[in-house]
Amino acid sequence: MPKPSVPQPERQEKLQVILRHAAQVFCEKGYEGASIRDISRSSGVSLAGLYHYIKSKQQLLYLIQIHTFKTILAQLENSLSGVMEPVEKLRILVHNHLDYFLQHPVEMKLLAHEDEALEGTFRKEVLEVKRRYVEIALEIFEEMRGAGVARRLNPRVAVLSLFGMMNWTYTWHRAEMDPRADALAETIAGMFLHGVMNGHGDTRAKSVRPAGARLRNRRARADNL
Amino acid sequence: MPKPSVPQPERQEKLQVILRHAAQVFCEKGYEGASIRDISRSSGVSLAGLYHYIKSKQQLLYLIQIHTFKTILAQLENSLSGVMEPVEKLRILVHNHLDYFLQHPVEMKLLAHEDEALEGTFRKEVLEVKRRYVEIALEIFEEMRGAGVARRLNPRVAVLSLFGMMNWTYTWHRAEMDPRADALAETIAGMFLHGVMNGHGDTRAKSVRPAGARLRNRRARADNL
DNA sequence: ATTTACCGAACGAACGTTCGAACGGAAGCG
DNA sequence: CGCTTCCGTTCGAACGTTCGTTCGGTAAAT
């Protein structure tokens, strides 16, 4: 039973390098449009050499997606712990989502755009994490309704529309001209909660920020790829 | 000078059949993941036979996208003609978009999902129609601001978030369980205009529908489930 | 001596596209 | 009318390329 002193950590490190390059290539050319040879070229590892770290092209996408999703989910659960107010929970969710989105645009585009590329077990496992993630948002929304808010709305439509606003950003957000994560999250959370018509059709701008002003300390955490 | 009595119309008809099958295949397997052979099999036209109607795989996607986009744009401009109230214009835009989306889910998914598949002139031409389409939404939003609404919002973020809500539907809307176009449009337009918190955090449901109640002869039913 | 890391070369399959020939009906002509 | 010419349509077969993956081997480290 050989106990490799070096292999384990170095192997994982190199796998991470490969995954980073693979994510970049998948992002640029799409999963189907990207070839293993593209990833080989980009990462500097030979074509055959890649297969010492992965078993297939599908597994490559799977590893990227599952890691990204589990990370953003764990970060969300952590940020949410201890928070009671449903509306603040929702603001935290939006901040967390967009923060991660703009900090890891490549991986998040892969999550949003390559939703149907995986098959079989890979697909099921990623979908399971996604289900949990959406479930959290739905529960928060139901809590808001329980507190007497948005009773007339279809929760599924409302929550998935919120995800639509957030996830669609990968198609248009340009770092050099658009708001950064914090401002973007404020805007989108504000739109979701109060709409674009502050008041009922005229100007009045109330102080539309009940909570969530100090969730900065919650999110300063270590995240790597 | 041969004057073909039959050829012209029949040729166009058969092309339409091919385009329909191609759209279906592209929708199911993605543009890169779908092969010309898949389309050949699906449409019943031989592999070589396809090339009598199209010049390349890219042109196939181009023809689908450009036709879909020009149709929905023309329909929008038509529905908008004569309407003065900005808020009603916006409601019409949302209704028009979601109406078309749910009536042509395959083509609209292609428009939303295969945004980066085309290259060169094909790409530019589709982007040009898209630009005009988004421009209309932006102008409407600016008119709303001119009327004293939503002054504090970044128009680009607001409008693209609205498109996010609408376009993201292709990832989750199931005809058998989700609201139909009318109800969906009401909900999304309502969320965009007034947010999910009717009033400012408590229950009261005001009459939040200033105009656009009689868009057409549609069912005026609220959303359920 | 065994295991791990790595790679050049090759595998068979599938890709988008093209070729060359066959088919079928209308047009030209005696 | 028969016969030929022509042209749009169709397709089996093949083109050359690229695909994901594997094989067989070398080099270094344990």
* Residues B87-108: tens digit of each pLDDT: 999 999 999 999 999 999 999 9
Q: Cα–Cα distance between B130 and B181 in angstroms, integer?
A: 22
Please give the nucleotide, over all strands, whose C1' is closest to the CA of residue A58.
D20
Reported as a pLDDT band with limits 50, 70 and 90, residue A7 is low
Determine the Cα–Cα distance for residues B55 and B73; give it in Å rounded to an integer: 26
What pLDDT score was predicted for residue B151?
Answer: 79
Q: Which CATH superfamily is domain A62-219 in?
A: Tetracycline Repressor, domain 2 (1.10.357.10)
For B1-54, the fitting CATH number among 1.10.10.60, 1.20.1730.10, 3.60.9.10, 3.40.50.11260 is: 1.10.10.60
Choose the weakest-confidence range: B1-10, B53-62, B63-72: B1-10
What CATH number is given for B59-225 in this structure? Answer: 1.10.357.10
Q: What's the CA B10/C1' D2 distance, rounded, in angstroms? A: 30
Ordered by start, the domain boundaries in chain B are 1-54, 59-225
Contact across the interface for B210 and A202, Cβ inside 8 Å = no
Q: How far is the CA of B32 from the C1' of D23 (A)?
A: 29
Q: Provide mean pLDDT across the span B44-69.
A: 97
Q: Which nucleotides of C are covered by protein (CB under 7 A)?
A: 3-10, 14-20, 26-27
Q: Please state, for a pLDDT cut of 90, what percent of chain B lies above it.
A: 77
Are the beta carbons of B154 and A116 separated by less than 8 Å? Answer: no
Q: Does the pLDDT value for residue A200 go beyond 60?
A: no
- Separation in Å, CA of B132 to nearest CA in chain A: 16
Instruction: State yes or no: pLDDT of A213 exceeds 50.
Output: no
Q: Are B26 and B61 in contact (CB under 8 A)?
A: yes
pLDDT-based confidence at B26, cuts 50/70/90?
A: very high
Q: Is the CB of B211 under 7 A from strand C?
A: no
What interhelical angle do A155-167 and A86-103 show, nearest 10? 30
pLDDT in tens, B122-165: 999 999 999 999 999 999 999 999 888 877 899 999 999 999 99
Maximal CA-CA distance, chain B: 76
Nearest nucleotide to A14 (CA to C1') is: C5
